[in-house]
Amino acid sequence: MRKGKKGILLTLILSAFMILAACSSETSKSGSTGGKGETGEVIKLRAATGLSSQHAWWSANMIPWMERVEELTNGQVEFETFAGGELVSTPDEGDAVLSGTIDVGLVLPIYQPDQYAMAEITMLPLAKSDAHIGSNAWKELLTSDVELADGKTFSELQFGDFKIFPVATTQEYSISTTGKEFKTAKDVKGTSLRTPSRIHEKYSEIIGINSVTMPAVEMYDSLSRGSFDGSYYSIADWSGYGFQDLFKYTITGVNFGHFNAFIGMSNEKWDSLPKNVQEAMTQANEELFSKGADEWIKRSEDMIKQNEADGGKFVEFSTLDQGVQDLINKGIEDTWNDYASLLEKQGQPGNKLVTLWRDIIIEQGGDVPAGVKNMK
């Protein structure tokens, strides 16, 4: 009788161990939400953007980066993805990262000048640049060791709470309208354009353009209703929002800056990851960074062909009426000075920042207006 009870007890103990082992195995498969991870444990990270899934920053930058990280870690890392505002809206991705709502986000700091006052620097108009020059300059600025204030660099002053992975900036911004043409200077003045940053608002004020401020994700409906005439925008980025169906007139050959973004994690989340995962994320970003700029160039070429086939017109800046050229050029140098002054009034190192950005642009093969070269 005792022998039978011991046998039953032994069977129960063995069964309990088997259940625990199964649970442990299942936990390894399903993973945690991002701890250090034991051998074989899957680290699941929640990644999100408010942008559409077709947007190049998501489809051609962040998605390939996540796929490469999963590949380099042999499946140790898995990403659960949300796009199109499914989980987080633009521009709230940075806040969602820092609050822990998501683990990784596509952050667009220009949309939040109250939090990231100096992030708009890449939107300053330039004399010469392209997607590669703008992207490399943005990456260089983010990794610069030049101290701007209080012994801190640009990234430390602006994004000290983030682990940053740079992504390629957009192609240069142009002026596009739903049909209004700039045949004389009088046509430019009073035109209503959506402005993506305070820099464009200042520039518009200088040359007499009316500013309309809103995120790009809200533009399509407003443009469709005729609420304003057009926008400063990157041709390559039209397809992310369907603007190729709305814009009918675009001025090329004049640069209104590059919009920036980065893949961000909180420092706390980053520090919780195993070293091999950190190395994989860094390697993936380095491998894929320049391909993001290539994608913008390709999309621009495709958009121009499609838009022209649909009746769109692209006008080279140098062929415009001289009065229009003079007016548009008038505000470029003044905008650099005004932006530096704006930052200085807010207690930010505006003068040091704009001269640093100028030097980086030139080092990367770009150029700035003559007056900007003399800024100190």
3-state helix, strand and coil shares in percent for the chain, rounded to the nearest 5: 55, 15, 30
260, pLDDT greater than 70: yes
On average, the pLDDT of the chain sits at 90
Sorted by where each begins, the domain ranges of the chain are 43-116+127-169+260-297, 173-258+300-366
41 or 157: which leads in pLDDT = 157
376 by Cβ neighbours in 10 Å (0-12 / 13-18 / 19+) ranks as: exposed
Over residues 317-351, the pLDDT tens digits come to: 999 999 999 999 888 889 999 999 999 999 999 99
Name the band, by pLDDT with cuts 50, 70 and 90, for residue 2.
Answer: very low
Name the band, by pLDDT with cuts 50, 70 and 90, for residue 111.
Answer: very high
Name the band, by pLDDT with cuts 50, 70 and 90, for residue 39.
Answer: low
DSSP of 269-294: HHHHS-HHHHHHHHHHHHHHHHHHHH
Quote the CATH superfamily of domain 173-258+300-366. Answer: Bacterial extracellular solute-binding protein, family 7 (3.40.190.170)
State residue 91's pLDDT score. Answer: 94
Fold match between domain 43-116+127-169+260-297 and domain 173-258+300-366: yes
Question: pTM for the whole thing?
Answer: 0.84
Over residues 55-94, the pLDDT tens digits come to: 999 999 999 999 999 999 999 999 999 999 999 999 999 9
Whole-number Å distance between alpha carbons of 96 and 105 = 8
Is 249 within 8 Å of 313 (Cβ atoms)? Answer: yes
Name the band, by pLDDT with cuts 50, 70 and 90, for residue 20.
Answer: very low
The CA-atom distances, in angstroms, between 287 and each of 29, 130, 324 are 28, 20, 43
Whole-number Å distance between alpha carbons of 123 and 104 = 25
CATH architecture of 43-116+127-169+260-297: 3-Layer(aba) Sandwich (3.40)
Mean pLDDT of 148-161: 98
Whole-number Å distance between alpha carbons of 178 and 228 = 9
42 by Cβ neighbours in 10 Å (0-12 / 13-18 / 19+) ranks as: middle
